[in-house]
Amino acid sequence: MKLAVQIDDEEGLLEEFGIKVPDYDALEEVWREYLEETDPDLAASEMASVSLKFCSTQTMKDLNRRYRFLDETTDVLSFPMWERGGEFTPPRDWSEIPLGDIVICPEVVKLSSDGENRDASVDFLRVLMHGFLHLLAWDHDTEEKETAMFSEQENLLERYLQKV
């Protein structure tokens, strides 16, 4: 299986907020390996894809209001293609599977990391892994699910950091 990440950072927001641009080849490799391990049926597809968009705080606030009915900004929103009732349900007979869209607001990531005295580039990667897991129907709407999801997010982050 090949995994492609399509990136939209037309406004140069990562650079503007001092966030190191990730190694997208390593990211694709980590995500592809994860899919092969966790969903062998999906991994039999020829290709999977993820759309990644970086946006301003105003755009993120607008998206959050429109899709989550929250009139505030946030660091990441995910729009999974195949999440139904908390389950990951992609078609098993397609050769190419779009997994969905991840939208990240670099400014919110930067403000949060500065406030917690953490590295914004690492926090950005953490948010990226978080968004990817949401595409696979992971959620954190209960304490148990939150613990599991955040642990898996750190696992993915560690895998990525070992590759770069």
pLDDT digits (tens, 9 = 90+) for 113-148: 999 999 999 999 999 999 999 999 999 999 999 999
**What average pLDDT does the segment 91-111 reach?**
96
pLDDT digits (tens, 9 = 90+) for 16-63: 999 999 999 999 999 999 999 999 988 889 999 999 999 999 999 999
| Domain that includes residue 23, residue range | 2-163
Q: 3-state DSSP call for residue 5?
A: strand
Report the CATH number at residue 94: 3.40.390.30
- Residue 10's pLDDT band, with cuts at 50, 70 and 90, is confident
Say what the pTM is: 0.96
pLDDT digits (tens, 9 = 90+) for 54-94: 999 999 999 999 999 999 999 999 999 999 999 999 998 89
Query: How far is residue 61 CA from its own chain's centroid?
Result: 18
Q: 3-state DSSP call for residue 147?
A: helix
CB-CB contact of 91 with 45 (8 Å): no
How far apart are alpha carbons 117 and 131 in whole angstroms? Answer: 22
CB-CB contact of 81 with 99 (8 Å): yes
Specify the pLDDT at position 115. 92
**What average pLDDT does the segment 103-115 reach?**
97
Domains: count for the chain = 1
Specify the pLDDT at position 19. 97
